[in-house]
Structure 1
C-alpha cells in the first residue's frame, strides 16, 4: 500500500487547546503522525512518498471562496491587529444574531468562520492544511490510476470542516475533496465511510443533498459527544440526497459487537447502492483508552474492521482523521490498513 505523507504537517502545532475550562496541550498534535509512521515501518509498510502539489480546483468546487481566503490571510490579519497569541475564536454568531453578515474585524471573522473554539490557527496552519489535502489528492490519483488502496496520512484532519467553517481540529475536508475528485473523474456513486468516533458533520453537510455521494458515519451519540448538534439517526439526506446519509449514533460504553453490527449495516447499504469507489475517514478514537471518546474497541478490533471494509473490494482512499490515545494511535491505524490489505 502506498502511503502519502508530508512533513509540512509540523507547521501546524497550536500550543494551547481550551479543554475542561483550562488551556492544555492540544490532543491533536504532531506526535500522532510520528507514532503512525513508526508503526508503519515496524510492520514493513515503507512505501511512503511525499504528495504532489495541491490542486485547488476540487477544493474550490466544494468550499466557500471567502472561507478559503480567510484561512489563507487570517494570520497576517490577526498580527496586523496586534494580537499576541494564536487565533482562537472568542465571539460567535448565536441564535438570534446575523448569520449572513461577515464582520470586517479579524476577531469577528474568526468567530464567523469557526464552529468550535478548541481549534486554534497558527502561522503555519494554512500551509499545513494545504499539505494535508495534497496528501489526500495524491492518494486519490493513485487509486484512480488502478491501485486497490492508498493511505493519505493527513494532518490536520478534515471531516469536521464544512464548506465555510473550521473546528474539531479540521480546516479543509480532505475526504470530501477526494470524493469530489472521484465524481469529477466520472464516478456516479462514491461512498464516504467515516469510522472516527466523532460524527463527520462537515462531510455530511457537504453532500447532504447530493445523489452521487453516500455518507455513512459510526459515532458517539450527539447527545453525549462532540460535535453535539449534528449526527442524529433521523438525518437521512435531503432532495436528491434523500436516503443517502446514514448515521449510526451509539451510546457511551459501546463495544465492538454493537459497533461491528453498525459497520456491517453500513457496508451492506454501500454495497447495495452500488458504490464505485470508497473514501474511508479513518479515525481510531473508538479505542477504549482514547482520552476524549467513550467507545470500548480493542486494538485487534481495528484489524477486523479493516477486513470487513476491505471485503467490499472497492477502490479505496484512506484519509487519516482522529485518534488521541497517542501511544496506541499507530498500532490501531496500521491494524486497519493491514486488515484492509488482508481482505
Structure 2
C-alpha cells in the first residue's frame, strides 16, 4: 500500500489576504484545504505518516542561500522595523541583476513575486514542513524501492523559483522531490496537472537535460501566471529542450484535458524517464473557486488511471486545489484510480 506523508506543522501558515484586480480578498490557500484532503486519504485507508527531518541540504539543492535566509529572517526584520503583521511587498525591481538589497522593503520586493505570498511568523515553519513531506515521499520511493508515494504538501510549491515566491508557493516541493530522485535515477520527469502553469518548476529546470518539465494548465494568455506557460517554451537546450507546456482554453473539460495528458505521457515516454513526479493540482476542477477549467470528479479518475499506467517509480506531490464541494472527492478519485491499494508496493527489494 502506498505511503502518504503530512506534518501538522503545515497547518501553521495562513497568509490571510492578497490583492486581486486592485482589491483585497481572502487567500483561498487556507489550512482547511489540508484537513479536507486528509479525509480523502483516510477514506482510501492510508495512514498519513509524519515526515522525517532531512534538514536543509535537499532544500538548498533547489533554492538560493539568500532566499532561504530571507524566508527565515524577514518577519523578525520587518516587524522590528515597524512593519505590519504580514510581510507584503509594495515595490519590485525592474530586474534582479543589480546589488542585493539591504533594506527589508527591498528584500521583500526582490523575493516575493506578487502579493499572494505574505510572510507571517509561522510561514517558514509550514513551508519547511511541506518540503520535508515531499522529501520523505521521494526518499520512500528512491531508497525503499516503493512504486509510489503521496506527499500532502501545503503550502504548495510549483510557482516558487530558486529565489522568488509566488502564487501561494514558497518552496518548490515538486522540484525538491525531483532532485532527490536524481540521486538514483538518471532521468526524472515532472508532470504538472495543476490549473496554473508550474512557472517556478519550469524556471528551475529550464536549462537542464536530466529533468523534463511538463505542464497542463489554463492558457496563460488569459490566466495566472500570465507571463509563462506558452507552448513555444521548450527548454534552453538548443534543439533538444526538455520543457513542454500544454495551455488549454479557459473552461476546458475532461476530454480536452485528457487529450493533452495523452500528449504529455507520450513525451515522457520519448524522454525515457526513469522516475516521475506528479505535481497534483486539483484546481482544474469545475467546482474550484478559481474556475479556470472544468474537470469533473470522473475526469480526475481518468487522469489518475492514465498516470497510473506509468511503470516507473512515481512521487505524487500535492499542489493546488481549493475549498469546494468536490475537493476531497477529486483527490479520492485520482488516487483510487491511480491504484494506491492494488499496485505492487515495491519495484524491487530494498532496505526496509
With the shorter chain as reference, the TM-score category is over 0.9
The 2-side partners of 1:90 and 1:220 are apart by: 28
Residue pair 1:71, 1:126 contacting (<8 A) in 2 also: yes
- Which residue number corresponds to residue 314 of structure 1? 312
- Which residue number corresponds to residue 84 of structure 1? 84
Pairwise CA distance, 1:240: 7.0
The 2-side partners of 1:54 and 1:226 are apart by: 33
The 1-side partners of 2:44 and 2:252 are apart by: 32
Deviations 1:235-280 (A, max 9, x none): 0001279331000011112121111010001001101221110100
Note the 1:148-227 alignment, pairs <5 A: 148-183=147-182, 185-227=183-225
- When the two structures are superposed, what TM-score results if normalisation uses the length of structure 2? 0.93
Pairing 1:30–2:31 present:
yes
CA gap 1:292/1:105 in 2 versus in 1, 3 angstroms: same
CA RMSD in angstroms, aligned pairs only: 1.5
Deviates more, 1:258-267 or 1:17-26: 17-26
Pairwise CA distance, 1:118: 2.1
- Which residue number corresponds to residue 286 of structure 1? 284
Residue pair 1:93, 1:99 contacting (<8 A) in 2 also: no
- Which residue number corresponds to residue 75 of structure 1? 75
Residue pair 1:35, 1:327 contacting (<8 A) in 2 also: no
CA gap 1:101/1:326 in 2 versus in 1, 3 angstroms: farther
Deviations 1:39-61 (A, max 9, x none): 222x2323211000033222212
Pairwise CA distance, 1:226: 0.5
More helix by share: 1
Residue pair 1:277, 1:316 contacting (<8 A) in 2 also: yes
Q: Which runs of 5+ in 1 are unaligned?
A: none
Residue pair 1:189, 1:275 contacting (<8 A) in 2 also: yes
| Runs of 4+ with deviation above 4 angstroms | none
Deviations 1:75-98 (A, max 9, x none): 11111101132111111113xx66
- Which residue number corresponds to residue 115 of structure 1? 113
Note the 1:5-84 alignment, pairs <5 A: 5-41=6-42, 43-84=43-84
Pairwise CA distance, 1:173: 0.4
The 1-side partners of 2:338 and 2:252 are apart by: 23
Residue pair 2:11, 2:34 contacting (<8 A) in 1 also: no
The 2-side partners of 1:331 and 1:169 are apart by: 23
- When the two structures are superposed, what TM-score results if normalisation uses the length of structure 1? 0.95
Q: Report SS of the residue matched to 2:329.
A: helix
Q: Report SS of the residue matched to 2:278.
A: strand
The 1-side partners of 2:295 and 2:44 are apart by: 25
- Which residue number corresponds to residue 140 of structure 1? 138
Pairwise CA distance, 1:147: 1.2
Deviates more, 1:207-216 or 1:9-18: 9-18
The 1-side partners of 2:212 and 2:228 are apart by: 17
The 1-side partners of 2:216 and 2:272 are apart by: 20
The 1-side partners of 2:323 and 2:252 are apart by: 17
Deviates more, 1:291-300 or 1:72-81: 291-300
- Which residue number corresponds to residue 250 of structure 1? 248
Deviates more, 1:99-108 or 1:314-323: 99-108
Q: Report SS of the residue matched to 1:247.
A: strand
- Which residue number corresponds to residue 104 of structure 2? 106
